[in-house]
Structure 1
C-alpha cells in the first residue's frame, strides 16, 4: 500500500543525511545497489503476530549508493509504502493494515520529512 502525501516524494538528500535521519527513526538501509536503496522500518504487531515493513525508496541522482566513500551521493526519495510479511511467499502490499500501524507509520514519515 502506497502512503501518499507524506512530503517525502521527490525530496532530495545526500546519502549521509538520509542514512542519519532514517537511522534515528529506526529504519535500516536494507536493500540497496549502486543506483537505488530502500529504507525499511519493521513493525511486529504483538496482538496479531503479524510483521509489517514500512519502506522508503530512494534513487541515486548523483553518485552511487555505497557503504564506503560515497556519502555525498545525492538521492531522490519516492513514495513510501507498507507491506505485510508473508513467510515464505514475500510481501503483501494489498493487505487491510491495522489503523494503529498506519497511524504510527504516517507519524514516522512526517518526522522523517521534517528532518531532511
Structure 2
C-alpha cells in the first residue's frame, strides 16, 4: 500500500537529523543503506500478521557512508510480511484499518517534525 499525498515524499532533509527523528518514532535504518539510498522500517506485529511501514530515500547531495548527505524521501509504503517469501506491498493485500490509521498518524507526525529542518 502506498501512502500517496502524505507530503513525506516531497521532503529533503539532512541524514543525521533524519536518523534521529525516524528513530524516535521507531523507524529504524539499521543496515539498510548504501552510499546513495536509505530505508527506514517500523515493524508492527498485530493479530492479523506482521507488517512493515517503510520509508525509502536517496541522496541528492553528499555521501550516506560519511553521514554528510541530504536525503530526498520517497512515498511511504505499508507491506505485509509472508514468511519465508518477504514483504508484499500490492494493491491486492488487506491492511487492517486500525493499522492504516496508526501509520497515517505516524506519517503526519514525521512530516511535522522533519519540516522543521527540511531543506
**Normalising to structure 1: TM-score of the pair?**
0.91
Show the 5 A alignment for 1:7-86. 7-30=7-30, 31-45=32-46, 47-48=47-48, 50-66=49-65, 70-86=66-82
Gaps of 5+ in 2: 115-119
Deviation at 1:72, TM superposition (A): 2.9
Structure 2 counterpart of 1:93: 89
CA distance in 1, matches of 2:109, 2:85: 31
Deviation at 1:6, TM superposition (A): 1.1
Deviation at 1:17, TM superposition (A): 1.1
Deviation at 1:10, TM superposition (A): 2.4
CA distance in 2, matches of 1:40, 1:51: 12
SS state at 2:38 partner: strand
Structure 2 counterpart of 1:104: 102
How many pairs does the alignment contain? 111
CA RMSD of aligned residues (A): 1.0
Structure 2 counterpart of 1:6: 6
CA distance in 2, matches of 1:110, 1:10: 13
SS state at 2:99 partner: helix
